[in-house]
Chains A and B, each alone.
Chain A
């Protein structure tokens, strides 16, 4: 079953922050975040494993709340290059089979 992502879209000015949420009705082994630009393959951002960890990559970080079965991606001090569609993929059984959310379109304007 697909995880639920919110919001569907967000428009930011350069330097602003945003949060993208991903929630699942199933217990999760891991959550994977990707960014996809138009016409390109998804690019891996980070993976969070169960255990409630938080991770970061430059000014993009994420948290994983195993109990609540949800993850959040934080875009801090957004840059123009952050524009794209962000997908969360959930892995329920550790085999690597991901079910993706519908995506969140992020547009960062100058």
Chain B
């Protein structure tokens, strides 16, 4: 079964509204989680590193005020797309690494469509 769960799996929202996506590690604690974005027919691009109890680290070119990341507990990170626009429509996916191993688990991904 899934070890990293994402919710919602898809969402449609109106332009200008905010959308929150959750990423949960189900049976392990993850002090660090990662958020990726994937446009159609493209690769997964790392957006940010989510750190439990501290600020997220954003990759170059990713607006931190637009993509708010909160990692309030050892099993939950959230990504909020603020004031969403159609160009933010994409597949967003998170990942987490078990502290005890090297395997990185991905969530099921969330399809965001902004209309």
Which residues of B are found within 8 Å of A41, using beta-carbon distances? 93, 106-109
Q: Once the chains are docked, how many angstroms separate the CA of A103 from the CA of B102?
A: 22
Q: Contacts A41-B109, A44-B103, A49-B102: A97 and B43 contacting too (C-beta < 8 A)?
A: no
Q: Contacts A41-B93, A41-B108: A98 and B46 contacting too (C-beta < 8 A)?
A: yes
A contact residues, range? 20 to 34
6 A–B contact pairs at CB < 8 A?
A41-B106, A41-B107, A96-B34, A96-B104, A97-B34, A98-B104
Q: Once the chains are docked, how many angstroms separate the CA of A74 from the CA of B38?
A: 25
Q: Once the chains are docked, how many angstroms separate the CA of A91 from the CA of B101?
A: 14
Q: Give the interface SS of chain B, mostly helix, strand, loop or mixed.
A: strand
- Report the minimum CB–CB distance from A49 to chain B (whole Å): 6
Q: Once the chains are docked, how many angstroms separate the CA of A99 from the CA of B44?
A: 8
B34 touches A99 (CB 8 A): no
Which residues of B are found within 8 Å of A102, using beta-carbon distances? 42-43
Q: Once the chains are docked, how many angstroms separate the CA of A49 from the CA of B107?
A: 22
Since A40-B109, A98-B104, A100-B45 are in contact, a sample of 16 more A-B pairs with Cβ atoms closer than 8 Å, ordered by chain A residue number, is A30-B102, A41-B93, A41-B107, A41-B108, A47-B102, A89-B44, A95-B32, A96-B32, A96-B34, A96-B96, A96-B102, A98-B44, A100-B44, A101-B43, A102-B42, A103-B42
Which residues of B are found within 8 Å of A40, using beta-carbon distances? 109
